[in-house]
A and B are shown apart, each in its own frame.
Chain A
Amino acid sequence: MKIELRNPNEVMKLSRLGSFHQSKLSFLRSFLSEFKDWEYKRDLFDLDNDGFGTAVYSFKKKERIYSLVCFANKISDDERSDRVIATKWDAAFTLHDGSPTKEDIERLKNEVPKQEVGRLSYKELTLSRANKSVRVFDHVVNNLSEGKQPDLDLLSSVGYLYRTTAVYGSGKFGLADRFRIKNREEINGPFRLEMMLVYLVRQFTFDQVNHVAKCKNPTKAVSLDKAICKNLGIGNSTGLGMAPFIVNHPTLLNNWILTRETALKKIREIQKVKPRDSLLFKDSLKKSLVNITSWNTESSYQQKKIKDLLKDVQKLIKFIENDFNFDADYPFNKIYLWLEQNACAECTEYVVSIMMEPFDNIIKPLIHQMSSDEDQYFNIPTSRKVHELKKILEDKYSEILNIDFDKKENNQKFWFISKNKEEPRLADRYIEQGSELEQPLAIARDIKKLYKRIEFLEKDSSIAEFLTNNSDLRHIVRRAFIIEKFPYSEIQDNTISESIVPIDMLRLKLSFFGALKFDPRSDKWLRICMFQGAPLPTDLKNYDDQWVYNLD
């Protein structure tokens, strides 16, 4: 049986993309899988009694070494802020290419804590900073120093000791350009070095908390239980900075979504499912209920989604246990069709992710197709004809072309780069100033504009001729020719409408990172947790691949 890929017009709606969940394709899981047989080491741990100082962690295989350099600094409570405008953090980190020399560490000590206003070199690959969850960190230190393990309920309600507020890579602030390292086999997957940084930071947080507790009470202190560590991740606060990324990298976005859709299609096409595979699916699905019931948020928007998710997953489990036979042909196709009829989008996408668990043979080859050499698709094919462009717009943007941008609510917002932090922001064009400096992120509006401009042009005129007098639409002509080849490259929604929910864009990207427990704090930023439940570096060689669904 041949199953068609899902329609981009449905998949690429923001509400659907904002319902995506982590899966085996997620970058943090593929990072662990790639680096599981690398040699992990703590090379330097030079912290004072209060936990301030320098530490270095590394992964090594043959001649290749990646080192996380950590700087923990004292800051006052009033300096601690998760906002991107902060200038000081409890700890700052960089991933160094190779083993840092003493000179490197001295250089980095001056630059890394400054983050965006510091300068890194081509020898550094990623950059980040993090703040303590002071409440949790202090609680853990106090208990460990008294010889006790911390309160698990408190830990479970937060999920981490530290949260990062940004992870930078790909040439930012002088970091190495991607082209310098793109041919390395071990990082043939998006954001792999960013994932490595976060993963090693997580270990640093455990080592630091143990160290401070030990210094506080050397005779009585105990270490944080390994099982507790495993259930802690790294938090992350994410704002709008992430949103334009998925608009600005259309072929990359396509490859992420296409691999996910291809995985689903191939799983639906399996005629006979082996008992051990169906068992693993059912087991993961049932165990994942803990992930849902321990998902805390104060956002009523997300609470409703979680409530619907829980209800629908329970309904699905009941259906599978009472009315379903995995021995029948194409069982996963039947489950998918059931979901389409009976479950919300949040649940459908949740189960799509879990369906991937038993099928390494399908998933692993796809992981290597998730990167993109975007420059390859940059040039506009200017010898093609206007009628071809018109057909692309009609075929690929059919719903976008129905939007009336003369209506205020469809043209309400604009994206801009803030002067103080050079970060993307979203504002109301009828209230705020600066819309004349709008970023080219209103794709739907500009597509409609392009369509109107070519609608009655002579069909055989070339794109080169069209561009001669329509330079203002050059960026959008480029995109139209990209979507022709990459069906999932475009969000099929209006990113400047009054009703846009920007966190849907963040959620999409974070789900591919592998984040859990999305916790929207407004419609413009959210908190998440990464690596919660993941194996510790010392246990990487032989870990449970379904760790995501085995939270205690």
Chain B
Amino acid sequence: MKSLSEIDTTSKRASRASGFSWGIAEEVGKNIRLLELFGLPGVKNLTQYYLDRKSKKYEDLKIINQKNISNTLAFCPIIAGTSFLDQSKKIEDFKELTFENLAYPLLFLPFLSRSSELIGKKISLAFDKNQFLMNLNVNILINNYPGQIIPLAKKLEIKILDNEDSFTEIEWKNLYTLSEETFVEETESLKQSGAGAGLTDND
């Protein structure tokens, strides 16, 4: 079994060899390590993408807009991902974004996961029948495990989710009521010897 450290280093070097700058290669090393740590096929997708790059061209998406459409060449997931990460504070205001024609969308995923941590909000991603929920870079929830190579996503939808409870007020109240059963009723004499007791608050 390869260690995550080997995966990081080799992905970084392969990225540099595939024409990316050292700084971006460092990002990719960390990303593939993250994907593999989360049990997603990072090495598989990266290897195939770099093989494809030898004969195919991809478009570099350097500025992220609310709608990102590539009509001719598919977007490079690494440049698009780096741009997303770098511009994530600004992107946060978009709430919802779409990308059309993004190559190897799994390679885009860790950039979203890291962005989720940076902005402190969950990010959801959907393409084809796959849905992902990025939880502040702590974990990624998936509805459909993508164990194989996904060379292209025709349409991706991204939502930056507001920080909201995942339960109703009633559910919370019920839970809180239950938790109250660990409390003990204080007697009057104990109440009078507690902190601040016996003083006026206006002295």
Indicate whether A473 reaches chain B with its CB closer than 8 angstroms: yes
When distances are taken between beta carbons in the complex, the residues of chain B under 8 Å from A475 are 21-23, 26
**Do A179 and B4 have beta carbons less than 8 Å apart?**
yes
Q: How far is the CB of A495 from chain B (nearest CB, A)?
A: 15
**Do B21 and A471 have beta carbons less than 8 Å apart?**
yes
Query: Looking at B3, B27, B30, B87, which has the most chain A CB atoms within 10 Å of its CB?
Result: B3
A174, A469, A472: which contacts B3 (Cβ < 8 A)?
A: A174
A476–B22 Cα distance when bound, in Å, is 9
**Do B5 and A177 have beta carbons less than 8 Å apart?**
yes
Indicate whether A334 reaches chain B with its CB closer than 8 angstroms: no
Supposing A121-B1, A122-B1, A464-B87 touch, asked if A478 and B26 sit within 8 A by C-beta, the answer is: yes
When distances are taken between beta carbons in the complex, the residues of chain B under 8 Å from A272 are none
Q: How far is the CB of B77 from chain A (nearest CB, A)?
A: 15
Q: How far is the CB of A462 from chain B (nearest CB, A)?
A: 9
Interface size on A, residues (CB 8 A): 33
Indicate whether A500 reaches chain B with its CB closer than 8 angstroms: no
When distances are taken between beta carbons in the complex, the residues of chain A under 8 Å from B23 are 471-478
A448–B153 Cα distance when bound, in Å, is 41
Indicate whether A178 reaches chain B with its CB closer than 8 angstroms: yes
Which residues of chain B (78-98) have a CB below 8 Å from chain A? 82-83, 85-90
**Do A468 and B63 have beta carbons less than 8 Å apart?**
yes
Chain A minimum-CB-distance residue to B3: A171
A375–B137 Cα distance when bound, in Å, is 13
**Do B86 and A472 have beta carbons less than 8 Å apart?**
no
When distances are taken between beta carbons in the complex, the residues of chain A under 8 Å from B1 are 121-122, 174
Which residues of chain B (1-33) have a CB below 8 Å from chain A? 1-6, 13, 20-24, 26-27, 30
A170, A469, A474, A478: which contacts B5 (Cβ < 8 A)?
A: A170
**Do A175 and B3 have beta carbons less than 8 Å apart?**
yes
Supposing A174-B3, A178-B5 touch, asked if A474 and B21 sit within 8 A by C-beta, the answer is: yes
**Do B62 and A172 have beta carbons less than 8 Å apart?**
no
A380–B22 Cα distance when bound, in Å, is 14
**Do B22 and A474 have beta carbons less than 8 Å apart?**
yes
Indicate whether B121 reaches chain A with its CB closer than 8 angstroms: no
When distances are taken between beta carbons in the complex, the residues of chain A under 8 Å from B141 are none
Indicate whether A467 reaches chain B with its CB closer than 8 angstroms: yes
**Do A382 and B86 have beta carbons less than 8 Å apart?**
yes
Q: How far is the CB of B123 from chain A (nearest CB, A)?
A: 16
Contact bitstring A402-418, B, C-beta under 8 A = 1, else 0: 00000000000000010
B4, B82, B83, B118: which contacts A177 (Cβ < 8 A)?
A: B4
A379, A463, A477: which contacts B114 (Cβ < 8 A)?
A: A379
Interface size on B, residues (CB 8 A): 27
**Do B22 and A172 have beta carbons less than 8 Å apart?**
no
When distances are taken between beta carbons in the complex, the residues of chain B under 8 Å from A380 are 86
Indicate whether A543 reaches chain B with its CB closer than 8 angstroms: no
Indicate whether A378 reaches chain B with its CB closer than 8 angstroms: yes
User: Interface of chain A, helix or strand or loop or mixed?
Assistant: helix
Q: How far is the CB of B104 from chain A (nearest CB, A)?
A: 19
**Do A379 and B21 have beta carbons less than 8 Å apart?**
no
Contact bitstring A153-189, B, C-beta under 8 A = 1, else 0: 0000000000000000011111111110000000000
Q: How far is the CB of A325 from chain B (nearest CB, A)?
A: 54
Chain A minimum-CB-distance residue to B62: A468
B6, B22, B24, B27: which contacts A174 (Cβ < 8 A)?
A: B6
Indicate whether A341 reaches chain B with its CB closer than 8 angstroms: no
**Do B83 and A468 have beta carbons less than 8 Å apart?**
yes
When distances are taken between beta carbons in the complex, the residues of chain A under 8 Å from B83 are 468
Chain B minimum-CB-distance residue to A469: B62
A440–B82 Cα distance when bound, in Å, is 19
Q: How far is the CB of A256 from chain B (nearest CB, A)?
A: 20
**Do A176 and B3 have beta carbons less than 8 Å apart?**
yes
Query: Looking at A175, A378, A464, which has the most chain B CB atoms within 10 Å of its CB?
Result: A464
A178–B5 Cα distance when bound, in Å, is 9
A380–B82 Cα distance when bound, in Å, is 11
Indicate whether A383 reaches chain B with its CB closer than 8 angstroms: yes
Q: How far is the CB of A247 from chain B (nearest CB, A)?
A: 12
Q: How far is the CB of A381 from chain B (nearest CB, A)?
A: 9
A176–B22 Cα distance when bound, in Å, is 26
Contact bitstring B56-67, A, C-beta under 8 A = 1, else 0: 000000110000
Q: How far is the CB of A53 from chain B (nearest CB, A)?
A: 29
When distances are taken between beta carbons in the complex, the residues of chain B under 8 Å from A177 are 3-5
When distances are taken between beta carbons in the complex, the residues of chain A under 8 Å from B5 are 170-172, 177-178
Chain A minimum-CB-distance residue to B89: A383
Q: How far is the CB of A273 from chain B (nearest CB, A)?
A: 45
Chain A minimum-CB-distance residue to B118: A379
Q: How far is the CB of A436 from chain B (nearest CB, A)?
A: 11
Chain A minimum-CB-distance residue to B60: A471
A249–B90 Cα distance when bound, in Å, is 30
**Do A474 and B4 have beta carbons less than 8 Å apart?**
no
**Do B90 and A472 have beta carbons less than 8 Å apart?**
no
**Do B86 and A122 have beta carbons less than 8 Å apart?**
no
When distances are taken between beta carbons in the complex, the residues of chain B under 8 Å from A476 are 23
Chain A minimum-CB-distance residue to B4: A177
Chain B minimum-CB-distance residue to A378: B30
When distances are taken between beta carbons in the complex, the residues of chain A under 8 Å from B4 are 171, 177, 179
Contact bitstring B190-201, A, C-beta under 8 A = 1, else 0: 000000000000
A112–B88 Cα distance when bound, in Å, is 46
Which residues of chain A (410-437) have a CB below 8 Å from chain B? 417
**Do B6 and A172 have beta carbons less than 8 Å apart?**
yes
**Do B3 and A172 have beta carbons less than 8 Å apart?**
yes
Query: Looking at A121, A170, A178, A475, which has the most chain B CB atoms within 10 Å of its CB?
Result: A475
**Do B22 and A440 have beta carbons less than 8 Å apart?**
yes
Other A-B pairs, 5, CB within 8 Å; known A464-B89, A474-B24: A171-B5, A379-B118, A380-B86, A474-B26, A475-B21
What would be 12 A-B contacts, judged by CB atoms less than 8 Å apart? Answer: A171-B3, A172-B5, A174-B2, A176-B3, A177-B4, A382-B88, A468-B62, A468-B63, A469-B62, A471-B20, A472-B23, A478-B26
Binding site for A on B (CB under 8 A): 1-6, 13, 20-24, 26-27, 30, 62-63, 82-83, 85-90, 114, 118
Binding site for B on A (CB under 8 A): 121-122, 170-179, 375, 378-380, 382-383, 417, 440, 463-464, 467-469, 471-478
| 9 nearest A-B residue pairs (beta carbon) | A474-B23, A171-B5, A171-B3, A475-B23, A440-B22, A464-B86, A382-B86, A475-B22, A471-B21
